[in-house]
Amino acid sequence: MRLEIIIDRKKQVSPDTMAALEQELLKQLGRRFPDIQVRVAGGSNMALNITRASKEDKVLVEELVQEVWENAESWLPETSAA
């Protein structure tokens, strides 16, 4: 399975935050999907792409991504949290 999150550069999300998000997603999702590949990068639009997964797994991954994002205080780098 492959998860790709593209964050609009206009949102000015720091590279440290994107790297921390990628690592947290790998940690959280890797428990359930050991073969998952995660990529978080800047781009011209916001996007969430999940490939090589069943419909059920896609729904589950979307929910888990939402949970990780909502619990950002647990993984955000100190410099980005300010």
Q: What is the CATH number of the domain that holds 41?
A: 3.30.910.10
In a domain, 62, yes or no: yes
Question: How far apart, in whole angstroms, are the C-alpha atoms of residue 82 and residue 73?
Answer: 11
User: What residues make up the domain containing 19?
Assistant: 2-76
Domain presence at residue 81: no
Does the pLDDT value for residue 9 go beyond 90?
yes
Q: Is 16 contained in some domain? A: yes
Q: Is residue 52 part of a domain?
A: yes
Residue 72 lies in a domain: yes
Q: What is the pLDDT of residues 20-65, one digit of tens each?
A: 999 999 999 999 999 999 999 999 999 999 999 999 999 999 999 9
Q: How many domains does the chain have?
A: 1
Q: Is residue 82 part of a domain?
A: no
Global pTM exceeds 0.85: yes
Return all residues near 24 (Cβ < 8 A) that are at least 6 apart. Answer: 68, 74, 75
CB atoms within 10 A of CB 3: 25
State how beta strands 47-51 and 2-8 pair: antiparallel
Which residues touch 46 (CB under 8 Å, ≥6 apart)? 6, 7, 8, 11
Is 61 part of a structural domain of the chain? yes
